[in-house]
Amino acid sequence: MARTKFTKAEKSWILYDVGNSALVLLATSVIPIYFNSLAAADPAVEKVAVGAWGAAETVASLILALLMPILGSIADMQGMRKKFIVGCVGTGAVATIAMGFPTNWLPFLIIYIISAVALNCSFVFYDALLVDATTDDRMDEVSSQGFAWGYVGSCIPFIVCLLVVLNAEKLGLSMQTAMLIAFCITAAWWVAFTIPMLKNVEQKSYKPREPHALRKAIGGIGSTLRAIWTDKSLRYFILAYFFYIDGVHTVIKMSTSYGSNLGIEGTQLVLALLVTQFVAWPASIAYGKLGKRLGTKTMILVGICGYFGITLFAAFFLRTATEFWILAICVGLFQGGIQALSRSEFGKLCPKEHANEYFGFFDIFGKYAAILGTGLVSAFTFITGNPSLGVLSIALLFVVGFLVMLKVPNQR
C-alpha cells in the first residue's frame, strides 16, 4: 500500500475497498453455506435452497434499482456523497451483526437483504468518489488497485472468521455463536477502513444544493437517461455492461450456493474462494497496466471471453471439489480486472458533477442488474430441479455483452 506514486486521497479511497471486501467475501462464501444449514432444518425449503438464495439476491437488486437513481442525484449535491456513505456503512454494519441472531432461515434472509442493500448502496457513492480522489489519466490504475488490495486485504478478517467458524466445537462455541463473532469482526473491519476515506477524500465535483431536491431528483431521472442514450459511447458501453457484468455478479453470488448444492464440502468451497482472492490480487493490478497499454475496451473483451468459458465449465464439468478449485482460480484471473476497468472507463465518460447520478444508473445496469442472472438461475432451478441448467443460461449474457461491446467507439 505504501507506494509513493499514490496520493493520500488515492490511498484512502483504495482502503475502502479493503474494508467492504471483507463482507463481500463472507457473503459469497460462508453466508450462503450458513443459510443452507438453516434451510436444511425446513424440509419444504431444503431442496430449493439455491432458488431461495437467488430470489433473495433478486429482491435486493430490485430495491437498489429503485433507490439509486434518486439517492444518487441527491448525493451529487455539495458535501453529500460522504454523508450517504456514513449512512450506508452504519446501517450495513448493524445489519451484518444482526445476521448472527436468527435461528430460522426466513428472518436471516430478510436481514441479509438489508445488509446487502446497504453494502451495495455504499458502492455507488464510493465509485462516484473516484472522480474526486484521482484524475482521468490515473483512473484505470487507481480503480484496479482498489480491487486488488480489496481482494488481499479482505483475506485477513476472513481467515480469522474462518478459524473461529471451523473450530467452533473445539472452542466450545455453537455454530450460531461462531457466526455471530464472524459477523462482528467483519462489520468492525468494514467501519475501520471507511474512516480514512471519510477523512482524506474531499468531494470536489458537485452540483449546488437546491430546494425540493427529492422531487427534482425523481423528475430528473428521465433527462439523465436521455443524456446517456444520446451519447453513443455511453449508450453502447452501458448496454454491454448490463449484460456482461450481470453474468459476472451472478457467478460471484451463486457459486458457493451452487457448489454446496452439488454436495461439495463447505470447507473446500471456502478455501477455494480464498485462493480466488489471492489470484485476483496480482491479476487486477496486471489488468490495470494492460488496460493502459492495450486499451480498456480490449481488456474488457478479454474478460468477457474468459467468463464465457468459466460459465460453460461450471455448467458441464463442475462436479467435484477439485473442479471447483479450478473454477475459483480461473475466476480470480478475470474478476477484479473486468470490474475495475469497467468502473474507471465509466468514470472517464460521465460528467464529474453528476458522477453519483450517473453511477446510480451504472450500477443499475451493472452490479444490480444481476436481477436477470440470479432470476434466470432461480427460475431454471425451480422449474427443472437442475441447477446446472440455470448456470448454463448465464452464458447468453456474456455473448450479448461481447457483441454490444464491439460497438463501443474506440475514440470518444
Q: How much is the pLDDT for 111?
A: 96
**Every domain of the chain and the residues it spans:** 8-405
Q: Is the dihedral of CA 23, 250, 294, 273 positive or negative?
A: positive
pLDDT(371) > 70: no
pLDDT tens per residue, range 211-248: 655 666 666 667 777 888 888 888 999 999 988 988 88
Residue appearing with cell numbers 448490463:
242
Backbone angles phi, psi at 101, to 5 degrees: -100, -40
pLDDT, tens digit, for every residue of 258-282? 676 677 777 787 788 778 878 888 8
For the chain, the average pLDDT equals: 83
| CATH match of 8-405 with 1.10.1660.10 | no
Residue type, 379: A
228 or 160, which is more confident? 160
State whether residue 112 is helix, strand or coil: helix
Distance (Å, rounded) from C-alpha 336 to C-alpha 268? 22
Rounded to a whole number of angstroms, the distance between the first and last alpha carbons of the chain is 33
User: If phi over 0 gives left and psi between -120 and 50 gives alpha, with beta otherwise, what is residue 263?
Assistant: left
CA distance 353 to 171: 52
